[in-house]
Amino acid sequence: KFINYSVVGIGVSSVQKKILKKNFNGIKMVYIGSISERRELDTIVKAIIILMQKHQKNITMDFIGDGDSKEKIRYLVPDNLKNSIRILPKISRSSIKNKLNEYHIGIGYVPNGVYEYAPALKVLEYMAAGLVVVASSTIGLKKYIKHERNGYISKNDVDSWAFELNKAVSCI
């Protein structure tokens, strides 16, 4: 059975949680962080488009943050998915916890060769909020996420991300 564990961190309690069944229609995914060219988020956007085009469930994806790649992401999203894949403004660190309560799945994408050994703070925040996490296969993230036990680990290519996102959506 899939269990999401909270991890101990600053302002985070060490409480084991089951996947939260949130009371709203559809499945909501989120990425919080830099939306810059160096983050290579086009991989995630293309994987989400594949997922949404194949799935019958109502799925939405919010990118929350700021950076120089927002227009590129908007350009990649087909017209029929513009209301489902959104870019929202950066939020304060203090409001992240409450904002994450609106979501089911947290995206922990880290580009190849960047921050290979460090766990992304966003992933720890997703886990603390009880979200299902899909994350890049980095040494740092694999310390916290055990594939198909408390999250999903993906290679950084479009097909692998679409595959792992589909598994995450199916467990909701």
The average pLDDT across 58-65 equals: 96
When pLDDT is cut at 50, 70 and 90, the band that residue 13 belongs to is very low
Which pLDDT does position 171 carry in this prediction? 86
Determine the Cα angle at 44 with ends 39 and 50, to 5°.
Answer: 160
| Token representation of residue 8 | 């101990």
Any bridge partners for residue 132, and if so which? 105
> So what's the pLDDT on residue 116?
84
Mean pLDDT, to the nearest integer, of 12-18? Answer: 38
Within 13 A of 124's CA, how many CA atoms are on the CB side?
14
Confidence (pTM): 0.86
CA 59 to chain centre: 13
CA distances from 168 to 1, 29, 63, 150 (A): 13, 10, 18, 10
Task: Please write the tens of the pLDDT for every residue from 85-103.
Answer: 999 999 998 899 899 999 9
Q: Is 141 helix (H, G, I), strand (E, B) or coil?
A: helix
Amino acid identity for residue 6 in this structure: S
3-state secondary structure of 82: coil
Would you say residue 7 has pLDDT above 50? no
**What is the SS3 string spanning 92-120?**
CHHHHHHHHCCCCEEEECCCCCCCCCCCC
